[in-house]
Amino acid sequence: MLEVTEKLRQNNLKVTPQRIAIYNALCESRSHLSAESIYNYLRESYPTISLATVYKTLSTFIDTGLIQELNTSDGISKYDIVNDPHPHFVCNICKTLYDLPELKSMENVRNEIKDSTNFEIITEQIFLYGICDKCNEV
Amino acid sequence: MLEVTEKLRQNNLKVTPQRIAIYNALCESRSHLSAESIYNYLRESYPTISLATVYKTLSTFIDTGLIQELNTSDGISKYDIVNDPHPHFVCNICKTLYDLPELKSMENVRNEIKDSTNFEIITEQIFLYGICDKCNEV
DNA sequence: CTGCGTGCAAAACGTTTGCAACTTG
DNA sequence: CAAGTTGCAAACGTTTTGCACGCAG
């Protein structure tokens, strides 16, 4: 993976400590972070960072295609580094957002969509809703 | 399609004029309605209906599986009668939400997901983001 | 007649904005 | 030094809540 600094430069974004920290937080986190959770996480190392900066930075990253916003039924946006596309699973009970493995059959879906519309597709998001293992046990 | 009244009774919901009107509005509309647009639309025939009732009713319908909430990047929830599953397209520019035709290849995706996880899948949502025809012309 | 549904107003929530001070290149 | 970024506080718009009244079963 490219150095963060490099990624920012490539997109004509000024390299600031806040941007590096936010990007790294998203890379390092195994879970899907909200703006608020990024903010709380970064406050330990960057006590003066503001929530507004987090939102503005995330918005910038979305515009440049570095990250993706995931909008699910709990009304809180989560953010995901754009790497290999993969579907997501949302538990209707605990609202946890899980990554699912990349699907081979998505290639067919993409082709079928390309044939059925002349819209220009940039990104794709697949959400499966249901009950996760943990909540099913209870 | 079943009579609205019947659908409500089946789900142990009291049959009220508001519920019937909201359900019908969602059935009849060719576009994807937000709570606000349902409210504005219904005010013509039900001048005393309140936005809170619309929200509460939608929430009830979601819980009983009659409708689905579509959360896209514009931050305004849209609601869709749960019929045949089909993908959606969201224009990054005008934010319009389009229906795409049902995809044959989705069956493979469903199967692949079933094989790769033991989460219990209840509903699925596919969103394609990009630029729509109208915005591409400009 | 009992419990659920409605409507109003107020509150809550995540997110966005305006602006002055400060950094980056 | 110019242009873009930050942080604060206030504003915004959607959605939720509490509560008294009303209607469905």
Taking chain B (138 residues) in runs of 10, the rounded mean pLDDT of each run is: 86 96 94 96 96 98 95 96 87 91 85 83 90 85
> How many angstroms separate the CA atoms of A53 and A64, rounded?
16
- Residue A26 distance to chain B (closest CA, Å): 19
> How many angstroms separate the CA atoms of B104 and A111, rounded?
11
8 Å CB contact of A113 and B72:
no
Q: Which CATH architecture has domain B84-138?
A: 2-Layer Sandwich (3.30)
Q: Which nucleotides of C are covered by protein (CB under 7 A)?
A: 4-10, 14-18, 23-25
Q: Domain A1-81 falls in which CATH fold?
A: Arc Repressor Mutant, subunit A (1.10.10)
Report H helices in chain B. 4-10, 17-28, 35-43, 51-63, 106-116, 133-137
Sign for the pseudo-dihedral over CA of B113, A70, A58, A68: positive
Which tokens belong to A116? Answer: 């059925």
> How many angstroms separate the CA atoms of A25 and A105, rounded?
31
Q: Which nucleotide is nearest to B18 (CA to C1')?
A: C6
Interface of B with A (CB under 8 A): 69, 71-73, 75, 77, 87, 89, 91-92, 98, 100-101, 103-106, 108-109, 111-113, 116-133, 136
pLDDT tens for each residue of chain A, 138 residues long: 568 899 999 999 999 999 999 999 999 997 899 999 999 999 999 999 999 999 999 999 999 999 999 999 999 999 999 877 889 999 998 899 999 888 888 888 888 878 877 888 888 899 999 999 888 877
**Confidence (pLDDT) at A79:** 97
Contact yes or no for A119/B131 (Cβ under 8 A)? yes
The CATH 1.10.10.10 domain(s) of chain A lie at 1-81
**Confidence (pLDDT) at B59:** 98
> How many angstroms separate the CA atoms of A48 and A55, rounded?
15
The CATH 3.30.1490.190 domain(s) of chain B lie at 84-138
